Amino acid sequence: MSGFFKSSIGRKVSMALSAFFLMFFLLQHLSINILSVLSPETFNEVSHFMGTNPLVQFVLQPVLIFAVVFHFVMGFVLELRNSSARKISYAKNNGAGNSTWMSRNMIWSGITILAFIGLHFIDFWFPEINTKFIQGDWSGTMEGIQGFRYHEELVHKFINPARVAAYVVAFVLLGLHLAHGFTSAFQSMGGTAGRKKTLQTIGKVYSIIIPAGFIFIALYHHFKH
Amino acid sequence: MNLTLKIWRQVDANDKGKMVDYKVTEISESMSFLEMMDVLNEQLVNAGDQPVAFDHDCREGICGMCSMYINGEAHGPDRGVTTCQLHMRMFKDGDTITIEPWRAAAFPVIKDLVVNRSAFDRIQHAGGYISVNTSGNTQDANSIPISKHAADQAMDAATCIGCGACVATCKNSSAMLFVGAKVSQYALLPQGQIEAADRVQNMVAQMDLEGFGNCTNTGACEVECPKGISLDNIARMNRELMKANI
C-alpha cells in the first residue's frame, strides 16, 4: 500500500483525500460563520463549543492542520515534478484553447490561499493559541464584553478595509481553486464516470456558495459597523 | 496562399536547436498540412538545404506517427484529427504558422520535429497485452458474452493510436490519457481480468519511471486527442490501481 502512495496516481489520490477533508471543513466553517450574521448569540455559543471541546481541539484541529500542510506540501511537490517533465517550453502554446484558466493555475490560486491562511493564522489562530494554551484562559470571555468574546472579535476584524479587501481577493481565488478542484478530486478518486455532469453542477454551486458566503460575511460586518 | 513558417530546427539530440523562418508560396487550401511540409522540403532540397525532418507514415490519420505542435496546439487548430488530416483551409493567406516538436522530457527530440516516443512502447511492454495460450485449445473469444456497453467502451479506448498528443498538450507532460486508454481496453473485457492487477501496477510504474508528469485533470488531452479518448479512461485507471492495491 505504501508503494501506491509513492506512485503518481497515489499522490493524486492523497491530494484528493486531503481536498475532500478541507472541502468539508470549509462547509462547516461557513455554516458557523454565517451565524455571526443570523444570530450573534448562537454564533458565540457554537464558537465557544468549537473552541473548548476536547474532541475538536485535540483531535480534529491537529487533523485539520495536518491536512492543510499536507495539501500544500504535496501540491508543491507535484508542481515541481510536473515542471521537470517538460524541460523546454513551447515557443507558442494555446492553453486557453483546450483547458480552463482555473485548471492551469491551481498553483497560483493555491499560493494566494496559502498567503491568506498566513493572515488568518495571525488574525485568529495565534491569538487563540496564546489565550487558551499560554495564558490558560478557556473562559471565552474578555474584559469589557458581556458574555462570550467571539462575535465582538470577529466584528472588530472587519473594520479595516484592507483586511476586507484581502478577504475578498483570497476568496475569489479560493472559488477559482474549488471550481476546478472539486470535480478534479472526484476524477482523481476514479469517481466521475457516468456522474460527470452531476458532479460538475454540484462543484459549480459549491465553488460559488463557499467564497460568496465568506465574502458576504466580511462585507456585512464591515458596512454594518 | 502564401505563408510564413516558424519551424524548430535541431540537427540531432545533442544540438541546442532554434526556430527558423521560412516562406512558402502558392499553397492550395486543399493540401494537407504534411503536403504543405512536402512543398517546403522540396523547396529546401532544390536550394541545397537540409529538409525538415518530421514523422509521418500512413497519412490517413490512423498510424499515430505525425506529431507536430502547430500554432500552440497538438496536431494544429482542427479537432479530432492528426496532422496529416489537418488541411490548409484551416489557415488564411499571409498567416504565420509556428511548428514545434512534442515537448516532453520523456519524448527527447531526435532531429527537427521528430521525437523519440519509445517510452510509450516500454509502457505497453510493461503490461499492455493479454497472455493467451495459443496451443490450439484456445477458447473462441466470441463464446464469452460481453455487454454492448462494455464492448463499445473498450473499443473506444482501443482507438488510441499512441501519437502522444496527450503528453504534448498536457501542461504537465502527463501520459495518463494514453496509459488510461491502454489499461481500460483490457479492464473492460473478461479477457483482461486475469492480469488486471499486475497490468495497471506495472504500466503505471513504467509511466512514472519514464519521467512523465502527473495528471492535474485540466482535460486538455481529451480536447486535443485525435481519437477523442475520454478522461473517463484516466478515472478508470485510477480505480484499477486502487483496486489492485487494496
Cβ pair B32, B92 in contact under 8 A: no
Contacts of B245 in chain A (CB under 8 A): 1, 3-4, 10
Chain-chain contact of B72 with A7 (C-beta, under 8 angstroms): no
Enumerate chain A positions whose Cβ falls within 8 A of a Cβ in B: 1, 3-4, 7-13, 78, 81-82, 84-95, 97-100, 103-104, 106, 180, 183-184, 187-193, 196
Minimal C-alpha gap between A84 and chain B (Å): 8
pLDDT greater at residue B18 or residue A2: B18
Q: Which residue of A has its CA nearest to B166?
A: A98
Q: Is the dihedral of CA B110, B114, B115, B120 positive or negative?
A: negative
Q: What are phi and psi of A185, to 5 degrees?
A: -65, -40
Q: How many CA atoms lie within 13 A of A95 on its CB side?
A: 14
Q: If you average pLDDT over residues A58-83, what whole number do you get? A: 96
Q: Which regions in chain B score pLDDT beneath 70? A: none
Chain-chain contact of B218 with A93 (C-beta, under 8 angstroms): no
Minimal C-alpha gap between A113 and chain B (Å): 18
Q: If you average pLDDT over residues A190-204, what whole number do you get? A: 84
Contacts of B100 in chain A (CB under 8 A): 90-92
Out of A8, A91, A191, the one facing B235 most closely (by C-beta) is A191
HEC states along A64-106? HHHHHHHHHHHHHHHHHHHHHCCCCCCCCCCHHHCCCHHHHCH
Q: If you average pLDDT over residues A88-99, what whole number do you get? A: 96
- Condensed to tens digits (0 to 9), the pLDDT of residues B38-85 reads 999 999 999 999 999 999 999 999 999 999 999 999 999 999 999 999
Residue B176 pLDDT: 98
DSSP code of residue B175: -
The reported pTM is 0.94
